[in-house]
């Protein structure tokens, strides 16, 4: 297995485990089943750790260093533009399914 492939699998594995922790309160049985199946891919040194339930794990927490304020502002601007375009469509009775020839915004 190449380094890139290993990195991709490791990232996917971590994302799935974190997602399962978040979804556990809403879908407890299926998330526990998937958690146990995912744990089958890990080579554990201690057999007691492997049998831990998903519901005994700590919830993931947010880290402020990963929040990009500039990106949040850009997304807010895009959302405002979309809201404005939808307003103009409804005012002119243009269906959302109807494609526009052009749309120009000055920001």
Render pLDDT for 75-106 as a digit per residue (tens, 0 to 9): 999 999 999 999 989 999 989 888 888 888 78
Q: What is the pLDDT of residues 44-78, one digit of tens each?
A: 555 544 558 888 888 888 888 888 999 999 999 99
DSSP H helical ranges for the chain: 3-23, 28-39, 47-50, 69-91
Rounded-to-integer distance, Cα 90 and Cα 96, Å: 9
CA torsion 41-46-52-57 (nearest 10°) is -90
Judge whether 14 and 22 are in contact, CB under 8 Å: no
Task: Compute and round to an integer the Cα radius of gyration of the chain.
Answer: 22
The pTM for the full model equals: 0.54
CA pair distance 37, 33, nearest whole angstrom: 6
């Amino acid at each position: 297995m190449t380094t890139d492939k290993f990195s991709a699998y490791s990232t996917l594995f971590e994302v799935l485990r974190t997602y399962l922790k978040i979804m556990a309160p809403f879908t407890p049985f299926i998330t526990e089943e998937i958690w146990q199946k995912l744990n089958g891919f890990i080579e554990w040194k201690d057999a007691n750790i492997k049998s831990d339930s998903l519901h005994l794990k700590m919830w993931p927490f947010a880290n402020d260093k990963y929040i990009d304020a500039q990106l949040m502002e850009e997304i807010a601007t895009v959302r405002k533009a979309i809201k404005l375009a939808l307003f103009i469509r409804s005012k002119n009775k243009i269906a959302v399914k109807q494609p526009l020839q052009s749309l120009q915004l000055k920001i």
